[in-house]
Amino acid sequence: MRGKCISSVKLTGFILLFLLFFVPVSRVSAYTAEEIYCNDDTGYAAVILDQAELISATDEYYEQMTEEMRKITAYGNVAFVSADD
């Protein structure tokens, strides 16, 4: 009987640790990212989150950067992120 109780405690502990470390937690951000492209074949996206306002659609290199980001979506998600903190 005691062995069954200890196994139950271990299983409960394992489940609690699993939930604590492996269940994703949603983070809330005050900033919204701009999705510039979503690859229909892979489902991966190119996203810009520019809090520091380092680049805009009127900048000289914006189109070149976004084109390179589009190419990367064949392999995974890609993001340009800047922070103003």
Domain ranges of the chain: 2-82
Distance CA 53, CA 19 (A): 38
- pTM of structure: 0.59
DSSP letter for 45, please: E
Q: What is the pLDDT of residue 10?
A: 73
Structure tokens at 45: 């996206």
The larger pLDDT score, comparing residue 25 to residue 50, is at 50
pLDDT higher than threshold 90 for residue 33 = no
Structure tokens at 59: 């900048």
